Amino acid sequence: MALQQISHLTDEMANCIDNCFEAAQACEWCADECIGQGEEMARCARLCRDVADLTTEHARFMARNSNYSAVLAEACAGACEECADECEQHDDEHCQVCADVLRDCAESCRTMMQEA
């Protein structure tokens, strides 16, 4: 849960921060699981690691009320969607969970962009 004491956060921003941190956790888990599954999972692991970094950075930028959060929101949403598309191609539980979390994160990033 995003800190409610941060006065500049709207409900949409707080939701987006929460979703970004959840996406980062799901992606770290998924990437770690993919690493041991052979070359066919390498792209999934790389995308998950990229998304984990992007979502964490985006959440930090929102918390500090950065002028760049809208730009990062767009990059974050696109990366989440690309990674979710990749994860959905695999039957593993970690990939399916990750894809669901990433769809929610992409949606909240797009919602946050609209209000910025």
34-67 pLDDT per residue, tens: 998 988 899 999 999 999 999 999 999 999 989 9
What does the pLDDT read at residue 8? Answer: 78
What does the pLDDT read at residue 101? Answer: 98
Domain that holds residue 42: 11-115
Q: Would the pLDDT of 114 be above 90? A: no
Which is more confident, 42 or 113? 42
What does the pLDDT read at residue 4? Answer: 61
Four-point Cα dihedral 108, 17, 55, 30, nearest 10: -90
Q: Answer whether residue 1 is part of any domain.
A: no
Show Cβ contacts of residue 77 under 8 Å, excluding neighbours closer than 6 positions: 105, 106, 107, 109, 110, 113
Count the domains in the chain.
1
Q: Answer whether residue 2 is part of any domain.
A: no
Q: Answer whether residue 3 is part of any domain.
A: no
Q: Would the pLDDT of 102 be above 80? A: yes
Q: Answer whether residue 22 is part of any domain.
A: yes
Q: Answer whether residue 107 is part of any domain.
A: yes
Q: Answer whether residue 40 is part of any domain.
A: yes
Q: Would the pLDDT of 2 be above 60? A: no
Which of the 8 DSSP states describes residue 39?
G
Q: Which domain CATH number covers 100? A: 1.20.1270.360
Q: What pTM did the predictor assign?
A: 0.91
